[in-house]
Amino acid sequence: MKRLIVCLLTLFVCLTLVAPCVSAEEVDGVYRYEILPDGTVMLVGTTQKLTGSVILPSQLGGRNLTAIGEDAFYEFENMISLQIPHGVTEIGDFCLAYCRGLETIQLPETLTAVGEGAFMGCSALKELTIPTSLTRIGHGALDFCTSVTAYHVGTGSTLFEERDGVLFNIATDDSPKTLMHYPAGRTATDYTLPADTVHIGERAFNGSAYLTNLRLNDQLTWIQKEAFINCPQLKTVTMVKSIENIGEHALGFLYQEGGEHELVPQFLMQGLDKTKAQEYATAHGVTYKVLTEQQLADLLNPPAPQPSEELSTVDKLINFAKTYQTYLIIGGGVLFILIILIIVSSKKKKQ
């Protein structure tokens, strides 16, 4: 009995000490917020769904806004644009998930962390600029952003970089060069993986509906889980022999509601015999074509088209004459007859 009383007293003391650090929810206009231990505030939600173009205030209740909480704007489908003020350092998990009408998001240069699934399903988003200050992008933060045509990175970022609108990390000893996100809204049909890319990230090409031809490099070692999910036009992939690991449903699958995966119709992988690529194909029921070393080399390194030599004027005239020889003969004959007729006509007039 004494032990029970001691435990209850201990629990009461702990709750008493912790309670002052947890602020009750307060309201400023349409925004609901909580006061953080450092005296700043976190926006946790709204009293009504926001619509149109939204500019968030830099203060709530007279205190600086430094964070936007989990699910704060979840499924605000009629919000078109959002400007997040300077001073915000963190965006919580699924904060803007499935804001399907959101076309632009302006992130501040104070932002350091974007939570898991933060922008997931923002299917109208066209472009996104990653601020220089950002140090963490949570898992699935950019999933199903199917209209993005380019990712941009602020000048001076030490963690991320952009190459022709494609988002990569900056390689370190602990983090090899990884293609993080390909802009799924890009209409280009061909893509060649940069030569220094070692990994392709999870769901990196998710929803790239126009991608038809993919050329991998010979440094690639890992294609992560669902890397090419929902790429319906990507029918054939030639696998390089450097690949050491392929994640679940990385190639050749469409994602269905409820978590089911369906094979892309007529999908084909081709590469060398007894490789990780062949193991993946066998395990996932994907058709696999075995190539010889020479066939693989020919597919990965097609001969460059030879530049045509500039023809001289004389050569161009000769080629023209060869091409239109029949017409030139007929035309010459007609011209000769016309000249004869003119001469004959002229003689008759003199007489």
Q: In 3-state terms, what secondary structure has residue 225?
A: coil
Least confident of 147-161, 266-280, 315-329: 315-329
Assigned token pair, 237: 């992939």
CA nearest neighbour of 57 among 90, 26, 28: 28
Q: Which pLDDT score, from 0 to 100, does residue 7 have?
A: 46
**Angle subtended at Cα 63 by Cα 60 and Cα 69, rounded to the nearest 5 degrees:** 60
Question: What is the average pLDDT value for the chain, to the nearest integer?
Answer: 88
Between 285 and 327, the higher pLDDT residue? 285
For 201-210, the pLDDT digits (tens) are: 999 999 999 9
Query: Using the 8-state DSSP alphabet, how is residue 285 labeled?
Result: T
For the chain, percent of residues with pLDDT exceeding 70: 83
Q: How would residue 292 be classed by pLDDT, with cut points 50, 70 and 90?
A: very high
Q: How would residue 312 be classed by pLDDT, with cut points 50, 70 and 90?
A: low
Q: How would residue 22 be classed by pLDDT, with cut points 50, 70 and 90?
A: very low
Measured distance CA(327)–CA(351) in Å, rounded? 37
Q: Which pLDDT score, from 0 to 100, does residue 326 have?
A: 64
Query: Dihedrals φ, ψ of 303, to 5°?
Result: -60, 135
Interval 252-277 mean pLDDT: 92
- pLDDT at residue 347 above 50? yes
Interval 248-268 mean pLDDT: 91
- pLDDT at residue 349 above 70? no
Q: Which pLDDT score, from 0 to 100, does residue 125 have?
A: 97
Least confident of 21-25, 233-237, 269-273: 21-25
For the beta carbon of residue 332, count every other beta carbon within 10 angstroms.
Answer: 10
Q: Residue 109 in contact with residue 133, Cβ under 8 Å? A: yes
Interval 87-110 mean pLDDT: 97
Least confident of 159-173, 177-191, 238-252, 321-335: 321-335
Its CATH architecture, for the domain 172-303, is Alpha-Beta Horseshoe (3.80)
Between 15 and 37, the higher pLDDT residue? 37
Q: Rounded to two decimals, what is the model's pTM?
A: 0.78
For tokens 């203060």, what's the residue?
A: 59
CATH 3.40.50.300 is held by the domain 22-148: no
For 121-144, the pLDDT digits (tens) are: 999 999 999 999 999 999 999 999
Interval 338-344 mean pLDDT: 74
Least confident of 99-103, 113-117, 301-305: 301-305
Write out the residue limits of the CATH 3.80.10.10 domain(s) in the chain: 22-148
Least confident of 97-111, 223-237, 253-267, 299-313: 299-313
- pLDDT at residue 17 above 60? no
